[in-house]
Amino acid sequence: MDSLWIIAPLVVAVLGLIGFGSGLVHAVKLRPARATVGLGGGGIVAVIGMTAGLIGLNLQGYARLTYEVPLAEVTVKAVNPAQKTFTVTVKRLDETHFVQDCTLQGDAWEIGGRFQKWKAWANEIGLNATYTLDQISNRYNSAAEGNGKTITACDLKAPPPKATQLLPDKVVTWVLKHMIVEDRFFGSASFMPMADGAKYTVIATQFGFNAEPANDAAKNANQQRAF
């Protein structure tokens, strides 16, 4: 289904180019009326098709959001509680099914990534917010405790879709910026306390990441900690 975001606009672009080429032929044969229709109409259709195709290509690198979507399952296992060392397993619940084990030292885990929000008119035609996960890292209850401590983190990026390799990222970014389609591009993160046996669900919303306890161990840890 996602491939339609690329194939359909490209078909439109090809038809536009055919019309544009026909306009050139009429121009050479000194048929100004037909040349104007072909060059003008075909050119506009080709530009619209290629632009829509670039948007579709960009969407291949991001997972679309509608309201709230369970994004990942995070489970925690104690390694050395005295040293605040834990093994945190992140199981992505999206189409990537990516699983990452990460050893973190601290009081909490923090998961983060990037979001794209589209203009209101773009939302009306189906362009919901999109996201991509970046990493999971450690966090301490206080900045004073965390100062000087080692940062522990793991990459959560799944392999990029093959479609995103067709054009350089800079080209897609430049086109989207000048089309005035993108509303905001920002980073988002959510964190929860680490406790042995705790399980959490990370949720992606239209406004960023959120997390909630998924079992009693996580609920107890969350209640005992003052955010």
* 118-175 residue pLDDT tens: 766 555 555 666 778 889 999 998 888 888 888 899 998 766 555 455 556 666 566 5
Q: Which domain holds residue 38?
A: 4-59
Which range scores top for mean pLDDT: 47-56, 184-193, 214-223? 214-223
Q: What is the pLDDT of residue 122?
A: 59
Helices (H), the chain: 4-28, 32-59, 120-124, 143-146, 169-179, 216-224
213 and 109 share one domain: yes
C-alpha–C-alpha distance, residues 191 and 104, integer Å? 13
C-alpha–C-alpha distance, residues 75 and 67, integer Å? 24
pLDDT tier for residue 13 given thresholds of 50, 70 and 90: low
pLDDT tier for residue 1 given thresholds of 50, 70 and 90: very low
pTM of the model: 0.61
pLDDT tier for residue 85 given thresholds of 50, 70 and 90: very high
Closest of 73, 72, 77 to residue 194, by C-alpha: 77
Q: Residue 52 in contact with residue 177, Cβ under 8 Å?
A: no
125 and 162 share one domain: yes
15 and 109 share one domain: no
102 and 45 share one domain: no
Q: What is the pLDDT of residue 58?
A: 60
30 and 98 share one domain: no
pLDDT at 204 exceeding the cut of 80: yes
79 and 159 share one domain: yes
pLDDT at 102 exceeding the cut of 90: yes
Number of domains in the chain: 2
The pair of three-digit structure tokens given for residue 178, joined into one six-digit string: 């000048």
Residue type at position 173: T
List 201's β-bridge partners, or say none: 73, 212
Helix (H) or strand (E) holding 146: helix 143-146
Q: Residue 15 in contact with residue 8, Cβ under 8 Å?
A: no
126 and 185 share one domain: yes
135 and 199 share one domain: yes
C-alpha–C-alpha distance, residues 181 and 73, integer Å? 32
Tokens 């959510």 identify what position?
A: 190
The pair of three-digit structure tokens given for residue 12, joined into one six-digit string: 């439109």
Helix (H) or strand (E) holding 108: strand 108-118
Q: What is the pLDDT of residue 180?
A: 55
